[in-house]
């Protein structure tokens, strides 16, 4: 589809420039007018823009959660103001900064013009819009609550982004420290220890065990680095192949939930996502079987996915939601009690929202505890590393000094 550059005026007379993909100049003008802009100049994109477009096709810009949050909120605001869906999408196509999302919105607009519904058009871009997002949009179209659905999706994505940012923030410091330790070890093994090894070799003295270990490790790094590099590369690709397999992904998803410190955070965050998705889908009127099927994919954990699908199987046999939740072994007794009350009173969506908030608080508490627990562990690791290096370097130095002075060496 051709790319056009345009200049336009906004509702308040401000100058706006951008690019948009369309079949003709008239189609570009129509989209700008529907988006509340006044076209001033529309020209085919220059060669440099064509080159940029080719680069974007080769290395497409990733659509982040922040982009989807903004899109959902803008759609909610436009629909609430009475703007037709097609006009809203055309307006957002020209103003969205993320080029991948803008291109997807242009294609979605074309599909709407061809007579497709919005959910089907979104489903053509599953790399951007999740199956849960598409399912709720389809429910919103069916029930006439699309405006409210976009608002609920924005709230859900904001909470998801906050949780991910909290986890990343808690892990940023230990990752930085571990990376620094790895770099320091590489420098010590390649440059520092060989220098001391040359000094020790000048004296015919028996070296301590720790020193011999450090020298042997340094010799391996210096002389066998191609083997080490091949092992690292092979391990990396082998691990990726294993994790991409069905059994490997399942075992890894189950294993990471049992990791010390981090596993608790991941488990609570996944349970929070499950409860929030269930509450949102149940409130929107999504059929129960469809809800569990979609949620099993949306939690992004194969271990949880298997448990959720087992819940769906139990409900298909006639069991209650609470009984299947008990059999899954995923939830705390307090949460199971709240689910039972909600199922009996017909307020399951409200109580599941409370469950989601409960797990959100647990996640925040676990993240604070994680940050507080990792620092002393890293301090101990650094202390042990310094102790090993000190014993491996200074013990033979003391031994050489004693030999020079005619004194017995330490440990002799």
Can you tell me the distance from the alpha carbon of 32 to that of 13, in angstroms, rounded to the nearest whole number? 14
Query: Would the pLDDT of 388 be above 60?
Result: yes
DSSP string across 80-92: HTT--HHHHHHHH
Question: Average pLDDT in the 239-256 region?
Answer: 89
Determine whether 205 is exposed, middle or buried from the number of CB atoms within 10 Å of its CB (0-12, 13-18, 19+).
Answer: middle
Please name the residue ranges forming H helices in 193-256: 193-201, 209-223, 225-244, 246-256
pLDDT, residue 48, reads: 47
Distance (Å, rounded) from C-alpha 322 to C-alpha 360?
A: 21
pLDDT band at 148 (very low <50, low <70, confident <90, very high): confident
Q: Residue 195's pLDDT is what?
A: 77
- What residues form DSSP beta bridges with 16? 8
Q: pLDDT band for position 233 (50/70/90)?
A: very high
Closest among 36, 31, 392, 342 to 193, alpha carbons compared: 392
pTM of the model: 0.66
Q: For the domain bounded by 63-159, which CATH number is listed?
A: 1.20.81.30
Q: Which helix (H) or strand (E) holds 277?
A: helix 262-284
Residue ranges of domains in the chain = 3-44, 63-159, 170-397
CATH of 170-397, one of 3.90.1200.10, 1.10.40.30, 2.60.120.10, 1.20.81.30: 1.20.81.30
Q: Using DSSP, state whether 7 is helix, strand or coil.
A: strand
Higher pLDDT, 1 or 338: 338
Q: Determine phi and psi for 107, rounding to 5 degrees.
A: -70, -35
Q: Do domains 63-159 and 170-397 have the same CATH topology?
A: yes
Task: Taking each helix axis as running N to C, give the angle between helix 246-256 and helix 262-284, from 0 to 180 degrees, rounded to the nearest 10.
Answer: 110
- pLDDT tens-digit series, residues 9-50: 777 667 777 777 777 777 777 777 777 778 888 877 764 444
- pLDDT tens digits for 263-282? 888 888 888 888 888 887 88
């Amino acid at each position: 589809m051709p790319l056009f550059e345009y200049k336009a005026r906004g509702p308040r007379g401000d100058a706006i420039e951008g690019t948009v993909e369309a079949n003709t100049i008239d189609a570009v003008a129509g989209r700008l007018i529907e988006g509340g802009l006044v076209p001033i100049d529309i020209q085919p994109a220059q060669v440099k823009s064509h080159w940029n477009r080719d680069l974007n096709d080769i290395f497409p810009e990733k659509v982040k959660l922040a982009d989807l949050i903004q899109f959902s909120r803008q759609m909610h605001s436009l629909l609430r103001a009475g703007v037709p869906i097609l006009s809203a999408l055309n307006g957002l196509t020209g103003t969205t900064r993320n080029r991948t999302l803008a291109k997807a919105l242009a294609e979605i607009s074309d599909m709407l013009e061809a007579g497709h519904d919005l959910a089907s058009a979104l489903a053509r871009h599953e790399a951007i819009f999740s199956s849960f997002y598409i399912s709720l949009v389809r429910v919103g179209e069916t029930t006439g609550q699309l405006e409210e659905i976009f608002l609920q999706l924005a709230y859900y994505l904001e909470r998801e982004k906050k949780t991910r940012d909290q986890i990343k923030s808690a892990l940023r410091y230990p990752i930085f420290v571990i990376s620094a330790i790895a770099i320091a070890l590489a420098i010590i093994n390649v440059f520092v220890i060989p220098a001391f090894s040359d000094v020790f070799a000048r004296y015919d003295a028996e070296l301590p065990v720790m020193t011999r270990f450090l020298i042997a490790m340094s010799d391996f790094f210096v002389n066998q680095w191609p083997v080490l590099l091949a092992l690292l590369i092979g391990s990396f690709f082998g691990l990726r192949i294993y994790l991409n397999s069905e059994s490997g992904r399942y075992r890894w998803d189950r294993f990471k939930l049992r990791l010390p410190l981090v596993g608790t955070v991941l488990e609570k965050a996944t349970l929070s996502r499950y409860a929030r998705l269930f509450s949102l889908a149940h409130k929107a009127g999504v059929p129960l079987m469809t809800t569990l099927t979609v949620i099993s994919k949306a939690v992004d954990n194969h271990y949880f996915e298997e448990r959720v699908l087992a819940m769906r199987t139990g409900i298909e046999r006639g069991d209650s939601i609470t009984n299947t939740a008990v059999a899954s072994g995923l939830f705390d007794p307090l949460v199971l009690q709240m689910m039972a009350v909600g199922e009996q009173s017909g307020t399951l969506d409200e109580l599941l929202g409370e469950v989601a908030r409960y797990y959100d608080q647990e996640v925040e508490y676990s993240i604070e505890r994680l940050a507080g627990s990792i620092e002393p562990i890293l301090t101990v690791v650094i202390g042990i590393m310094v102790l090993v290096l000190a014993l491996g370097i200074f013990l033979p130095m003391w031994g050489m000094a004693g030999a020079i002075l005619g004194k017995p060496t330490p440990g002799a």
